[in-house]
Amino acid sequence: MKKLFYFASAALLLAACSDDNETPDGPTPPPAPVPENFEVISFEPAEGMIAIDGEPVTLGTIEVVGGMAGGTHANCFWAKPYAELFGDPDGVMGLTIDVPLFSDAAGAVWFGSYYCDCSGWGSVMDSWGGFALSQNSDMTSATFDYANQFSVYAPGGANSTKTFAMAYCNGMMGGEYSNPVIDFVPAREVDHLYMAAATMAYTFYTHSTSAPKDRTCGYTVIGSADGEETGRVDVKLVEAGEVVDDWVKVDLSALGRVDRITFEPMGFNPNADMDPAYFCIDEIALVKE
C-alpha cells in the first residue's frame, strides 16, 4: 500500500511592539519570536490530502444507497469509491473495505475507514464507519434524519477552516476501522485536537421523541503504543440533553507518545441505544520533532 502524508506546518507567531508602549527607559523592546511547536493536520484538500491510491483527495457529491440512510450529500469524501480497488468482494456481508483510507502527503498519519455494500443480506444497502471528510454545516435543521449524517453542528470547520473529518462509530459491523481510528507511523505526541458534535446529534436530542432528555455523553479518546494503552481522555459533547454548538479544544498531551488513537462512545451504547454515534474532528496538533 502506498502511504503518503502531509503535515501543514503552523505559521510562526510573531509579536510586534507598539510605539505607544514605553517604559521609563524608552520603548518596550519586542519579545523574541516564539516558534510554533506543532504540526497541524487541518484536512484541507488544497494542503495535499492523499487517498489510499496515492491520488489527491477530491470532495464531491456522494450517494448513500438503501434504507433510512439513503440520500445524496455534496462536498464529501468516503470509502465507497475505493471498495472495488482495495476491498474484499467476498466479504460475509458483501463487498467490504476496511483500511487506513487517507492521509496527508508525508504518509505518517492515517485515518481509517470502513464500507460495506451489505449485498450479502440480499440487496445493496451502503454502510460506513470510521472517518470520512466533509465541508457541510447545519445548525438549523428541525428534523432528525440521515440527511445530515455528514454535517457538523458548528459554523464550519475548526478555526475557520472548511474541511473536517466526519466520524461514525459503526460498532455493529465489526471491522478494525468501523470505529474511528487514527494510526501514526512512526509514533507521535498529539498535543491537542478539536472535536464537535454532529448535526445528527443536535437533531436527535432536540427533536426526536426517542431521545433521553437528560443524556450527558460524548466520546473517549484512547491512546496506545505497541498495543498497550497509554491513557484516556473523555470529551463531553452533550450535557443533560444540550448539545455543544461549536468546536471544543481537547488536550491530549497526557496520552504521551502514541502509534494509535481510537474514539469510543461515552455515556451511551450505540448498539443498544438510539443515540446517533456521529461526531467531528479537526485541527490535530502534533508536537514537532
Strand partners, 64: 71
Burial track 168-200 (b if 16+ CB lie within 10 A, e otherwise):
bbbbebebebbbbbbbbbebbbbbbbbbbbbbb
Q: What is the pLDDT of residues 5-61, one digit of tens each?
A: 322 332 322 233 333 334 344 454 444 333 479 999 999 987 789 999 999 999 999
Q: Are strands 248-251 and 242-243 parallel, antiparallel or unpaired?
A: unpaired
Close Cβ partners of 65 (under 8 Å, ≥ 6 residues apart)? 117, 124, 125, 126
pLDDT in tens, 133-163: 999 999 999 999 999 999 999 999 999 999 9
Residue 74 has pLDDT above 50, yes or no: yes
156-182 confidence digits (pLDDT tens): 999 999 999 999 999 777 789 999 999
Count CB-CB contacts under 10 A for residue 242: 13
Residue 122's pLDDT is 86
75 contacts 134 by C-beta, under 8 angstroms: yes
Instruction: Tell me the torsion sign for CA atoms 81, 221, 277, 47.
Output: negative
Q: What is the pLDDT of residues 194-251, one digit of tens each?
A: 999 999 999 999 999 999 989 999 999 999 999 999 999 999 999 999 999 999 999 9
Burial classification of residue 285, based on how many CB atoms lie within 10 Å of its CB (0-12 exposed, 13-18 middle, 19 or more buried): buried
Cell of 64: 448513500
pLDDT above 50 (res 70): yes
Record the pTM.
0.86
Give the separation between CA 134 and CA 127, rounded to whole angstroms.
Answer: 17
